[in-house]
Amino acid sequence: MRLLTVLSFAVLVFVAIVLLVVVIVAWPPNMGLDFTGGVQLVYEVDRNALVTDDEAGGSPAVVDWPSLIRALTNRVNPAGMKEVVVRRYGEWQVEIVVPQADRRELAMIKKLISTAGTLEFRIVAKPNHAPHEYVINLAKQQAQDRNKRRAKNVRDGDDTIVGYWARVDREEGEDGKLGALRVQVAGDVIRNATTGELTAWNQIELDSVEIDVLMIVDEDPRFHVKGEHLGMVSRGYDETMRPCVRFNMRGQGAGLMGALTGSNLPDEARDTYQRMAILFDGQVLSAPRVISQIRDRGQITGSFTQEDVDFIVNVLHAGTLPVMLNETPVSETAIASDGTAHQTAGLVISIALGALVAIWLVLLLRYGLMGLGGSLASSLQVLIVLATIELVHAAVTMPLIFASAAILLLAVVGKLLICESVRRRSRDELSSVSSIWGGFLRSAIPFALALAALWFSGIVVYAMGTFAVRSIAGPVVLGSMAALVTSCFCLLLPMAVITTERQDQGRGDPLG
């Protein structure tokens, strides 16, 4: 029994050392706006992109502001762990305040904000394919008209859109130059995006001019497959181990995808095939051949980096913005920290540590082995909370510090009461083992129930609250769970030693 107890204590010490290493390696934690300052970005709604009857772009009432705020929040703060503010600002603007970030991270945030996030699947126009010839001829006629050659849509008459030009996406360029095209356009109907003139892939400098490729627009709604028809979207790797985006279709989407691909299968007699373009915000990310009918799942492949894939997946998870925002922010202002938060946090942490050390001394000097278990439990609780905050990159805010300190002190006081209850029973040499366990349970059960109630309340508040509320609920959930788990292990071990000695010797005071 003694060997088992020693081994158990050794395991707990080992866990504490591992947690300490994690805390040191991952230090410093992600500090909130109060400590580091931040950046205020103000974006304006692109009124030219609003579809309204009012030539001035309509009124702000046409914008679904709650959906816009929610989508932007999900993009900038998908895990809900950062201290981010997203709110309406004036009539047509949105304010986004993010913690201090380096240039690369801030550029990614700006890209997330200004990306609409629309996804659609279209068939690439194929020369010498009879069903597409009519649309291609209309595109050629449009290219001859100086007033229409740069138009995005190809119209049959004045109203019916039968095709449109989609920009071919590129890889990241160097030194301000255009990167390589993500999609091969040899044999496709393409144009110079700047002039609107039709051209061939071998007659134009692809690395110096943006390229548009012609898409077919079918009037039949059965062939309109969009991002809203996607179910689960995830990161993955293709057959060549390159990063890709995997997706599943949901509900009606599976039928629409099946209809689109099923009507564009290869012509085995002529050995021809169709290509299905995958467009993200109107730009062609990929255009694979349609080999067989696709219904419920697929993947977006191409020359993507892991960062590209993460960006696309994050945007698709957050959802499409109900309105477009202008790409360039109206204003960008750095917000400096005044140092007040550092002083307040330092005071709170000093008081909490002082009280904690005082209680630890009482535990160790008065309760011996039982107090050692209680002190070890509190130490593990602190390390678990710190390690978790760092690993999930949670923002350290004043509410988080207050809540964590309160839960820690509450837990250590509870352990103190448990130790006192057990000590009183064990000092009585006539007390039986069951009596000692009874004293332990009478104080431990209310303590455990209180922590469980705090944990459950924190879960409910965290699920329903905003970031400000979650800043309090998060540490309550984490701290109460850590206190409950560590207390169970670290207090039951000394209890096993105490009761075993009492049973073997029938006397003595194991608590000292």
Residue 466 confidence (pLDDT) = 65
Residues of the chain with pLDDT under 50: 52-56, 507-512
Amino acid found at 392: V
Amino acid found at 54: D
Residue 214 confidence (pLDDT) = 93
Structural domains in the chain, CATH included, are 2-32+338-505 (1.20.1640.10), 38-115+329-335 (3.30.70.3400), 119-318 (3.30.1360.200)
Beta carbons within 10 angstroms of residue 456's beta carbon: 12
User: Could you tell me the two tokens for 8?
Assistant: 């158990």
As a whole number of angstroms, the distance between CA 472 and CA 479 comes to 11
Per-residue pLDDT tens digits for 172-200: 777 667 888 888 888 889 999 888 888 88
Residue 137 confidence (pLDDT) = 92
Residue 331 confidence (pLDDT) = 87
Residue 471 confidence (pLDDT) = 67
Coil, helix or strand at residue 278: strand
Query: CA triplet 246, 252, 256: central angle to 5 degrees?
Result: 75
Residue 98 confidence (pLDDT) = 84
Residue 99 confidence (pLDDT) = 80
User: Could you tell me the two tokens for 176?
Assistant: 């301000």
- CA nearest to 81, candidates 458, 432, 390: 390
Half-sphere exposure of 337 (CA within 13 A, CB side): 17
- Does the pTM surpass 0.85? The reply is no
Buried b (16+ CB within 10 A) or exposed e, 145-157: eeeebbeeebbee
Residue 285 confidence (pLDDT) = 87
Cis peptide before 243 (omega within 30 of 0): no
- CA nearest to 318, candidates 49, 24, 118: 118
SS3 content of the chain, % helix, strand, coil (to 5): 50, 20, 30
Contact 367, 510 (CB under 8 A): no
Phi and psi dihedrals of 39, rounded to 5?
-130, 130
As a whole number of angstroms, the distance between CA 276 and CA 224 comes to 12
Regarding beta strands 225-226 and 331-335, do their DSSP bridges make them parallel or antiparallel, or are they unpaired?
unpaired
**What share of the chain has pLDDT > 90, as a percent?**
4
Residue 507 confidence (pLDDT) = 47
* Eight-state DSSP code of residue 1: -
Residue 213 confidence (pLDDT) = 92
Per-residue pLDDT tens digits for 17-40: 888 888 898 888 878 777 777 888
Does the CA dihedral 280-282-288-292 come out positive or negative? positive
Residue 67 confidence (pLDDT) = 85
Contact 476, 463 (CB under 8 A): no
Query: CA triplet 278, 283, 287: central angle to 5 degrees?
Result: 35
Residue 509 confidence (pLDDT) = 45
